[in-house]
């Protein structure tokens, strides 16, 4: 499977020739928040998208289809997201992504109504993994429910196979994003007899001092931290001030090397839930550095390709590219949203050349399995603590199905 994406590129390059010129371009519409809440990550996603498109297009495209990314800033405003979606729809875009929970929630009903493919990985509605309800939405990758469940399972393994009497502090930003994993955590706590306590901190997440005073008094065995970007930096400082060892910290996936650098040495031992391989030697990244940046066609600074979010972007779009490849194989005529949807639902054991866990998407499961792994920062690089895994799938799916049934109503 690891060579599948590379073979995708190779097949695209070798097999097309003159046919490549005759196939229509597949357009992605990225209605991204490039200037507000998600701007810590979205520029890296866009850079990854454009680099991947350059790499694939230079090889003749995906089964002859060139790829084009259209990008617009929504400033995280739902109305601007809707405008972006509508304008790209008129331009013939077949696949949309918003990378913003509020924008995604505004656009999702339109994509569902119009029958357009919407990616929605990592953000937006977690219950969109329920493919038989959200048939046009493909949040391939772990939900926040899945990430929390996997982190709890990791804690369980580290605690000798039992969570009984293990104290877990869940420190989270006071925002729907922070509340999302809590039903899963409560269910797991009930099942495992664990002791979990919730500690919200206010937005924009830069003043966490009073929260950490209370966390210190609670004396947790583990800290699960649900914040983004710079909030991890503030948390690391507060943990140091409160004498809580960084080795107890497991962050949600939104921790990057930039955040670690901003911690100024405090990050050693920090753990995070990872959705993507951070190894800079990853063959897909290496190929982009060699062929795209080597030819002076990079979409940004080559240093940007070392960012975790860049790697996440590569993973997400190469999954979409795989869906297009399958769609092109399965379709005789022009590519349609319907064909790409079918392509997505035919992805089997695709691991993005080792970039992610092996992903299988079916008409019922649009999440692809929800696997993550735990990594720790050793002071210089990310070290794998576990292999790809998922846990408490029954709890995650029960909550997802319950939420999805309310959408149906």
Partner 1 sequence: MDWILFLELAANGAVTGLLYAMVAISIVLIFKSSAVPNLAQGALVMVGAYAVLAFSDWLGLPMWLAIPAAMVFMFGLGIGIERHALRRLAGQPIIMILMMTLGLDIFLRGITLAAFGGSARRMDLGISDDPLFVGQILMSRVHLTGAAVALMVFAALVLFFRTRRGIRLRAISNDYVASWSVGIGVEQGVALSWALAAVISTIAGVFWGAVQGVDQSLSLLLLKSLTVAVLGGLDSLPGAIVAGILLGVLESVVSGYLDPLVGGGSRELVVAVTLILTVLIRPHGLFGDRSVERI
Judged by CB under 8 A, the residue of 264, 294, 363, 379 near partner 1 is 264
Q: Which two tokens stand for residue 362?
A: 């079916």
Q: Of 206 and 295, which CB lies nearer to partner 1 in the complex structure? A: 206
Could you give the string, one character per residue 116-155, with x where binding to partner 1 holds by CB under 8 A and - elsewhere?
A: ----------------------------------------
Q: Is 200 in the site for partner 1 (CB under 8 A)?
A: yes
Q: Is 241 in the site for partner 1 (CB under 8 A)?
A: yes
Please state the closest distance from residue 203 (CB atom) to partner 1, in A.
8
Distance CA 199, CA 124 (A): 23
For residue 84, what are the CA distances in angstroms to 38, 90, 104, 162? Answer: 17, 10, 12, 48
Distance CA 35, CA 69 (A): 18
Q: Is 245 in the site for partner 1 (CB under 8 A)?
A: no
Distance CA 351, CA 122 (A): 17
Please state the closest distance from residue 115 (CB atom) to partner 1, in A.
33
Please state the closest distance from residue 241 (CB atom) to partner 1, in A.
6
Q: Of 192 and 259, which CB lies nearer to partner 1 in the complex structure? A: 259
Are 126 and 145 in contact, with CB atoms under 8 Å apart?
yes
Lookup result for tokens 């830069």: 206
Judged by CB under 8 A, the residue of 11, 13, 27, 39 near partner 1 is 39
Q: Of 243 and 334, which CB lies nearer to partner 1 in the complex structure? A: 243
Q: Is 207 in the site for partner 1 (CB under 8 A)?
A: yes
Angle of the 101-114 helix axis to the 78-90 helix axis, nearest 10: 40
Q: Is 216 in the site for partner 1 (CB under 8 A)?
A: yes
Q: Is 303 in the site for partner 1 (CB under 8 A)?
A: no
Q: Provide the phi-psi class of 394: left if phi over 0, else alpha when psi is between -120 and 50, else beta.
A: alpha
Tell me the window of 64-72, 158-166, 197-205, 328-336 that interacts with partner 1 (CB under 8 A).
197-205
Strands of 230-348, DSSP E = 249-251, 271-274
Judged by CB under 8 A, the residue of 72, 158, 159, 230 near partner 1 is 230
Which among 331, 337, 405, 323 is positioned nearest to 140, based on CA atoms? 323
Please state the closest distance from residue 217 (CB atom) to partner 1, in A.
7
Q: Provide the edge-to-edge strand list for the sheet that holds 382-384.
A: 195-201, 167-173, 222-226, 249-251, 271-274, 373-377, 382-384
- What are 271's strand-pairing partners? 250, 376
Are 70 and 26 in contact, with CB atoms under 8 Å apart?
no
The residues of the shown chain that bind partner 1, judged by CB under 8 A, are 34-35, 39-40, 42-43, 174, 178-179, 197-204, 206-207, 209-211, 213-214, 216-217, 229-230, 233-234, 237, 240-243, 256, 258-259, 261-262, 264, 266
């Amino acid at each position: 499977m690891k060579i599948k994406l590379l073979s995708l590129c190779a097949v695209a390059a070798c097999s097309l020739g003159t046919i490549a010129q005759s196939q229509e371009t597949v357009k992605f519409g990225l209605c991204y928040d490039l200037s507000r809440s998600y701007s810590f990550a979205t520029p890296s996603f866009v850079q990854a998208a454009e680099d991947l498109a350059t790499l694939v297009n230079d090889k003749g495209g995906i089964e002859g289809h060139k790829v084009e990314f259209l990008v617009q800033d929504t400033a995280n405003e739902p109305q601007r997201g809707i405008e972006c979606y509508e304008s790209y729809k008129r331009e013939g875009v077949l696949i949309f992504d918003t990378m913003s929970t509020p924008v995604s929630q505004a656009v999702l009903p339109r994509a569902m109504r119009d029958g357009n493919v919407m990616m929605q990985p990592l953000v937006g509605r977690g219950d969109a993994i329920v493919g038989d309800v959200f048939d046009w939405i493909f949040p391939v990758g772990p939900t926040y429910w899945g990430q929390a469940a996997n982190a709890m399972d990791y804690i369980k393994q580290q605690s000798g196979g039992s969570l009984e009497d293990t104290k877990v502090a869940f420190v989270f930003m006071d925002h729907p994003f922070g509340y999302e994993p809590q039903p899963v955590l409560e269910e797991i706590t009930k099942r495992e007899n664990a002791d979990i306590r919730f500690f919200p901190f206010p937005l924009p997440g830069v003043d966490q001092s009073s929260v950490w005073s209370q966390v210190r008094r609670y004396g947790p065995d583990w800290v699960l931290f649900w914040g983004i970007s710079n909030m991890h930096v503030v948390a690391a400082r507060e943990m140091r001030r409160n004498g809580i060892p960084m080795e107890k910290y497991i962050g949600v996936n939104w921790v990057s090397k930039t955040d670690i650098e901003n911690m100024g040495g405090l990050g050693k031992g920090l753990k995070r839930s990872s959705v993507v391989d951070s190894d800079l030697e990853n063959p897909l990244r290496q190929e982009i550095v060699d062929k795209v940046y080597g030819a002076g066609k990079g979409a940004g600074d080559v240093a940007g390709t070392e960012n975790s979010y860049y790697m996440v972007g590569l993973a997400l779009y190469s999954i979409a590219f795989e869906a297009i490849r399958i769609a092109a194989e399965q379709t005789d005529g022009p590519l349609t949203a319907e064909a790409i949807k079918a392509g997505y639902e035919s992805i089997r054991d695709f691991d993005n050349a080792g970039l992610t866990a092996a992903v299988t998407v079916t008409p019922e499961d649009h999440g692809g399995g929800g696997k993550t792994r735990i990594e720790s920062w050793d002071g210089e690089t990310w070290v794998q603590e576990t292999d790809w895994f998922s846990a408490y799938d029954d709890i995650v799916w029960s909550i997802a199905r319950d939420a999805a049934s309310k959408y149906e109503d």
